[in-house]
């Protein structure tokens, strides 16, 4: 089993406690589907300021983004802490409105996307390739996306 450490530090409180719990359950289900075990993943739901600061500090990009993933160990390493995922909930809310779906659906997708980055998947600038194919397969398996 994967230990998901879900922390909601979004100042706007865009997500209810029940929604955060649902997202944590979803993250567990994604990890199970990907056959991950004996790892720890930290998921931090935060705001634009925090994500922008980290994006500037670690990627030299002075802008916010919807999700940042920081891998702290390799998937096959003995180290249990796999990594950290930070989600800009404000940005996710804007994207959800733009795409015409719910905030919880958008945040779930970003959590899934972040987990895939932590286990070694990557995408090109157009978000294509193998990672996109895995995302499509996972989206079709979970009710949260319907």
Residue 127 binned pLDDT confidence (cut-offs 50, 70, 90): low
Can you give the pLDDT at residue 8? 94
**Predicted confidence (pLDDT) per residue in 92-116, tens digit:** 999 999 999 999 999 999 999 999 9
Q: What is the dihedral sign for C-alpha 82, 78, 123, 101?
A: negative
Reduce the DSSP state of residue 102 to 3 states and report it.
coil
CATH number at residue 80: 3.40.390.30
Q: What is the pairing mode between strands 67-71 and 81-88?
A: antiparallel
State the total domains in the chain: 1
What integer best gives the mean pLDDT of the chain?
A: 92
44 and 65 Cβ atoms separated by less than 8 Å: no
**Domain carrying residue 34:** 3-145
- Summarised one tens digit per residue, pLDDT across range 11-66 is 787 899 999 999 999 999 999 999 999 999 999 999 999 999 999 999 999 998 99
pLDDT tens digits, 64-74: 899 999 999 88
The answer for residues whose C-beta is within 8 angstroms of residue 75's C-beta and 6 or more apart is 36, 39, 82, 118, 119, 120
Gap between the Cα atoms of 24 and 136, Å rounded: 20
Beta strands in 10-124, from DSSP E residues, in sequence order: 40-46, 67-71, 81-88
> What percent of the chain clears pLDDT 90, i.e. is strictly above it?
82
Three-state SS at 75? coil
Question: Among 144, 73, 90, which Cα is nearest to 112's?
Answer: 144
């Amino acid at each position: 089993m994967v230990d998901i450490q879900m922390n909601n530090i979004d100042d706007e409180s865009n997500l209810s406690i029940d929604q955060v719990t649902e997202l944590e359950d979803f993250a567990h289900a994604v990890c199970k589907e990907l056959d991950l075990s004996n790892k720890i993943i930290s998921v931090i739901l935060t705001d634009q300021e925090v994500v922008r600061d980290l994006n500037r500090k670690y990627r030299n990009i002075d802008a916010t983004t919807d999700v940042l993933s920081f891998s702290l160990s390799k998937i096959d390493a003995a180290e249990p802490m796999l990594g950290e995922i930070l989600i800009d909930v404000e940005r996710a809310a804007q994207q959800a409105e733009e795409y015409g779906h719910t905030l919880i659906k958008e945040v779930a997708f970003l959590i899934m996307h972040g987990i895939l980055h932590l286990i070694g998947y990557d995408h090109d600038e157009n978000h294509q390739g193998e990672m996109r194919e895995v995302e499509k397969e996972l989206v079709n398996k979970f009710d949260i996306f319907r």
